[in-house]
Structure 1
């Protein structure tokens, strides 16, 4: 999916996918159980964004008749791209890569924050 926001292009085909999360929960606004995929991406320019895809069963007007509509169940899909701050992206990835062996992955995509925390640990040891 490709979307232009504030003059910048966010494209899932050209950006690097960092991680993804699958959930299946009831959504009261849609009146259905929603299967959601939330993926975190990083663009070549270093910006982060979420690609969110919802799949659910809903009712649609099958005959386009306003006076006597006929509703049928149909599988519906919603896709959207949302901008993510550096902090929100870091938190999402940290929750995904919560085991101790994944520090290299976090360091790769979030070098600023992980470098700061390493510097703090070094200064605590030296104190």
Structure 2
């Protein structure tokens, strides 16, 4: 009976050891799973950061295009302002030419009157 009792105690001890090893194996598997989960979360975080950076680069590219477009619009406005000044200057010159033409006609008319008056006065 003593040997049987020792054998039972030994089997119970083996069973406890086996349960302990199984528990530690499960714990190790769980810790490995946690480590893999953390690594995956770090990877996801990196992917989110890269997506954010890509969006930032796209936004900066869009801003650069907008600035270039506004610079072109500004150049166009400056050119149109210059052309408007040129047109105003040409209009002013045209007014001077019209005034000179008017004065020329007036001088011709006065010359004609002078000739007519001289003709009347001096026969």
- Taking structure 1 as the reference length, what is the TM-score of the superposition? 0.21
Q: Highest relative contact order (Cα 8 Å, sep 6+), 1 or 2? A: 1
| Larger helix fraction of residues | 2
- Taking structure 2 as the reference length, what is the TM-score of the superposition? 0.21
| Larger strand fraction of residues | 1
The structure that has the greater radius of gyration is 2
